[in-house]
Amino acid sequence: LGKDLNVKEGSIIFSSEKADRCTLAQNGVENVLDVVDLSLPNMYSANLSLFVLHAGLKLFETRRPELMYLSLSDYVQHKYEPDAPEAIQFYSAIDEAFGRLDGLGAILAVTADHGMRGKSNPDGSPRVIWLQDFLDHEFGRGCTKVVCPITDYFVAHHGSLGSFVRIHCLPDLDKARVISAVDKLAGIDMVCDRMTAVSRFELPVDREADIVVISDADTCVGTTPSAHDLSALGDWPLRTHGGLAESVVPFILNRPIRKDYMERTVRDGLRNFHIFDFAINGVTH
C-alpha cells in the first residue's frame, strides 16, 4: 500500500497467515482503493490517516485477520496545535474509528513513535541551531559532518528539521572539544559521545556517530540553511520532534492489563514497543 500511495507512512500491514505464506494477493492489500472504497488520499492530509483506519475497519470486517498493524501519519500534529479546531476534528474522527474497531471486538493497542512540539520563534520562523555552520566556523570546513536523521519525503512536515542529530568527526579531531563547544550553545539539551548515546538510547553501536546532539523543547537543529527546504513549510510555524521533550507518548489498550504485566511495568517501566507484547499476551479477555 505504501508503494501505491507513494508514501512511507500511512501503510497497512496485516497478517492472517504465517509470515512465510503471506503475499499481497493472499492478504488483499492489492487494489486497496476498491477494497476500501475511498479515493486516494493526499500525502499531506488528515485523510491519509483516516484512510488507513477505514481500510483497517473494512479488512477487519471482511477478513477478520489475527493481527493488523495500522500506521498513521503525523501530518495533523505537525500542522496544528492540540487544541486547534482541525486537530480536535481529527482526533474525534480517529476516536470514532477506534470505537468502531472496539465495537467489532478487536483488542486495540494505540501508541506513538514520538511526541510533538512547536519549535518556532515568535515571528513564526523555525528556531534553528545551524550546527554544520557553527562547527565549520569553530573547527574548519570538512572536519565534521552533521547528519539529520529526520530527513525523509515529508518535507512539508518538518523541512528536515528535528531535535536529534549526529556528528561524524575526522579521526584526529578532539571530540571532547567538539562536545564542549556544542554544549555551550543556547537551546541544546544534551550532547554526548557515541558510547553514552548507545547506552542511554539502546542504539546499535556500529551505526552510531561520534557525537549525538539533542536540542531542547523549543529548538531544532539543522545543518546549514541551503540544505533545508523551508519553503515547503509554507506559512506554518514549525512543529517537530526528536528531542527528550517529545519522548513521552500515549500507551492505550482497550482491555484490562494482566497482573504480572502490571507488576513488570511498575518494576521495569514502559516503552512504546512493549505494546506489541501487551496487545498479544498482556491483556485479560
- Which residues here bind Zn ion, judged by CB under 5 A? 74, 157
> In this complex, which beta carbon is closest to Zn ion, that of residue 74 or of residue 216?
74
- For residues 178 and 211, the answer to whether their CB atoms sit within 8 Å is yes
Neighbours of 121 (CB within 10 A): 13
Minimum Å gap between C-beta 163 and Zn ion is: 11
- C-alpha distances (whole Å) from 63 to each of 1, 35, 69, 229 are 17, 11, 14, 43
Cα–Cα distance between 153 and 134 in angstroms, integer? 26
Q: At what angle do helices 85-103 and 46-63 cross, to 10 degrees?
A: 10
Cβ distance to Zn ion smaller for residue 74 or 210: 74
Residue 242 CB, shortest distance to Zn ion, in Å, is: 9
Is 187:128 a contact under the CB 8 Å cutoff? no
- Least Å from the CB of residue 240 to Zn ion: 7
Nearest distance, CB of residue 237 and Zn ion, angstroms? 15
Q: Which is nearer to Zn ion, 162 or 282 (CB)?
A: 162
DSSP string covering 25-66? HHHT-TTHHHHHT-PPPPSSSHHHHHHHHHHHHHHHHHH--S
- Smallest distance from Zn ion to CB 4, Å: 21
Q: How far is the CB of 241 from Zn ion (least distance, A)?
A: 6
- For the record, the C-alpha cell of 187 comes out as 537551546
73 vs 144, beta carbon nearer Zn ion: 73
Q: Which contiguous run of DSSP H or E holds residue 109? A: strand 109-111
Number of H helices, E strands in the chain: 12, 12
Q: Which is nearer to Zn ion, 156 or 173 (CB)?
A: 156
Q: Of 44 and 134, which CB lies nearer to Zn ion in the complex structure?
A: 44
